[in-house]
Amino acid sequence: MKAYSAWSVFRHALTGNRHWPRAWRDPEPKAGYDVVIVGGGGHGLATAYYLASVHGIRKVAVLEKSYIGSGNTGRNTTIVRSNYEQNANARFYEFSLKLWEDLSLELNYNTMFSQRGVLDVAQSEGMVERYIRRGNAMRLNGIDAEFLSPAEVRSMLPGIYEDSACRYPIHGGLYQPRAGNARHDAVAWGFARAADSLGVDIIQGCEVTGFLQEGERIAGVRTNRGDIRAGRTGLAVAGSTGHVAGLAGLRLPIESHVLQAFVTEPVKPVIDTVLTFELADFYISQSDRGSLVFGGELDRYSSYAQRGNLPIVHDVLEAAVTMFPMLGRVRMLRHWGGVCDMTPDGSPIIGASPIEGLYLNCGWCYGGFKATPGSGWMFAHTLATGAPHAVNAPFALDRFERGYTINENGAGPFFNLH
């Protein structure tokens, strides 16, 4: 791989940018690999990269039914944070956030990671107490957290509603300065290019349609481009997990739900951090291009359709103009939906499946983009050694039957309430 540098940008500019080499190869699938990863989203690609770079396992293929990043990786609103209260979550997402901080250098690819902070706005006294408690829990886990006063929140957000104009006055906010967002496609492309340069085969247009069963074991996959054998097979198919695991006869604690996101025409800089308004089921940030990117709740019925429904459009837009009345005249550019793999405790599953040879990376709900490097790192460790790392051990599949759920918001075992 030819490293990208300021010099290469300059040199290619002189020749009209017509001679850039391909960023990754387009190989034919081989008969077999040490590890086959199903799903070419950020998680699958990161897993392949860390298998090759950390564990020296280079006979690896990533199989993607469409093009890489076409799933939730390319559909999400790119918030990266580690402001969790539960120890297992805090440790895992902070591990991931630390990887984000060096990711562009590590991959020699600009992921445009911008630590502009995430501010959870408290709109009731009860929320103040909960946020302070969460902030304290974060600090005990070595994570940056600050509780801001109403005046501090207002000074950061010039366009926000007046207290007198809204039922829910601003009571303060929980701020994580090191959080932020990143360019979603760049994360998939950066991992793909770096993994490819270490010998990983990234095979697009290759859909897994079944598994090669040998006795009790899974020994590879069936695809539209032929059978591919694998020492170990890892699933990283997010919203499609229920369907793909079903091909191996597995039922999982996962239900697929659709989440929508929205983007406006580009405007001048107005919001320089990432904001969440839990009470209004609303969050918003501004992309580097100037578009306001925002979203809200799940559509709440199970769905494999990558599109959502109008009641949510209504709710989200209503929240947008209530929180920021100035947005009333901004035009929407587009909105879309992605299929999220919801679990009954709202936390992911990374580890072995009940079937030998098959490993699971799923249950990311609507929060797995921030996990991309950490998830890849932990899944690679699990696939390479056959056992989980201490950080992902709590996220084992059997936590449900053992009664060790990791339930950040305390909702019961309902997939659409997390």
Partner 1 sequence: MIRLRCPHCGLRDHSEFTFLGDATVSRPGTEAAGDLARGGAWSDYLYLRRNPRGVQEEFWHHGRGCRAWLVVTRNTETHEVLDTRLARDRGDRA
Ligand X SMILES: Cc1cc2nc3c(=O)[nH]c(=O)nc-3n(C[C@H](O)[C@H](O)[C@H](O)COP(=O)(O)OP(=O)(O)OC[C@H]3O[C@@H](n4cnc5c(N)ncnc54)[C@H](O)[C@@H]3O)c2cc1C
Chain residues that interact with partner 1, rule: CB under 8 A: 240-243, 246, 251-256, 300-305, 309-311, 344, 354, 398, 400-403, 413-416
Comparing CB distances to ligand X, the nearer of 260 and 273 is: 260
Q: Residue 102, class by beta-carbon neighbours within 10 Å (0-12 exposed, 13-18 middle, 19+ buried)?
A: exposed
Q: Smallest gap, in angstroms, from Cβ of residue 401 to partner 1?
A: 4
Contact flag: residue 369 with ligand X (CB under 6 A) = yes
Q: Contacts with ligand X: how many residues (CB under 6 A)?
A: 40
Q: Which stretch binds ligand X (CB under 6 A): 73-81, 95-103, 167-175, 296-304?
A: 73-81
Rounded Cα distance, 254 and 121, in Å: 30
Q: Smallest gap, in angstroms, from Cβ of residue 251 to partner 1?
A: 4
Q: Smallest gap, in angstroms, from Cβ of residue 413 to partner 1?
A: 5
Among 48, 52, 145, 208, binds ligand X (CB under 6 A): 208
Q: Smallest gap, in angstroms, from Cβ of residue 162 to ligand X?
A: 28
Kindly provide the b/e burial profile for residues 8-43, where b requires at least 16 CB atoms within 10 angstroms of the residue's own CB: eeeeeeeeeeeeeeeebeeeebeebbbbbbbbbbbb
Neighbouring-strand partners of residue 33: 230
Q: Smallest gap, in angstroms, from Cβ of residue 367 to ligand X?
A: 5
Ramachandran category for residue 142: left, alpha or beta (phi over 0 → left; psi -120 to 50 → alpha)? left
Among 1, 5, 11, 66, binds ligand X (CB under 6 A): 66
Contact flag: residue 183 with ligand X (CB under 6 A) = no
Q: Smallest gap, in angstroms, from Cβ of residue 245 to partner 1?
A: 8
Of the candidates 341, 337, 336, the residue with the CA atom closest to the CA atom of residue 237: 341
Contact flag: residue 64 with ligand X (CB under 6 A) = yes
Comparing CB distances to partner 1, the nearer of 395 and 415 is: 415
Among 33, 49, 61, 75, binds ligand X (CB under 6 A): 75
CA 57 from centre of chain: 24
Rounded Cα distance, 395 and 406, in Å: 8
Q: Smallest gap, in angstroms, from Cβ of residue 61 to partner 1?
A: 24
Among 37, 261, 342, 378, binds ligand X (CB under 6 A): 261
402 binds, among ligand X, partner 1, none (CB under 5 to 8 A by kind): partner 1
Contact flag: residue 277 with ligand X (CB under 6 A) = no
Task: Give SS3 for 109.
Answer: coil
401 binds, among ligand X, partner 1, none (CB under 5 to 8 A by kind): partner 1
Comparing CB distances to partner 1, the nearer of 172 and 344 is: 344
Comparing CB distances to ligand X, the nearer of 180 and 394 is: 180
210 binds, among partner 1, ligand X, none (CB under 5 to 8 A by kind): none
Task: Give SS3 for 59.
Answer: coil
Contact flag: residue 385 with ligand X (CB under 6 A) = no
Rounded Cα distance, 170 and 164, in Å: 10
Q: Are 41 and 364 in contact (CB under 8 A)?
A: no
Contact flag: residue 153 with ligand X (CB under 6 A) = no
Among 118, 156, 319, 340, binds ligand X (CB under 6 A): 340
Strands 79-80 and 292-302: unpaired
Task: Give SS3 for 386.
Answer: coil
Among 364, 377, 395, 415, binds ligand X (CB under 6 A): 364
Q: Are 49 and 200 in contact (CB under 8 A)?
A: yes
Q: Which amino acid is it at 353?
A: S
Of the candidates 193, 203, 222, 198, the residue with the CA atom closest to the CA atom of residue 63: 203
Contact flag: residue 237 with ligand X (CB under 6 A) = yes
Contact flag: residue 418 with ligand X (CB under 6 A) = no
CA atoms within 13 A on the CB side of 351: 18
Kindly provide the b/e burial profile for residues 205-218, where b requires at least 16 CB atoms within 10 angstroms of the residue's own CB: ebbbeebbeeeeeb
Tokens of 222: 């069936």
Rounded Cα distance, 291 and 287, in Å: 5
Interface residues with ligand X (CB under 6 A) are 38-44, 63-66, 70-73, 75-79, 207-208, 236-240, 244, 259-261, 295, 338, 340, 364, 366-370
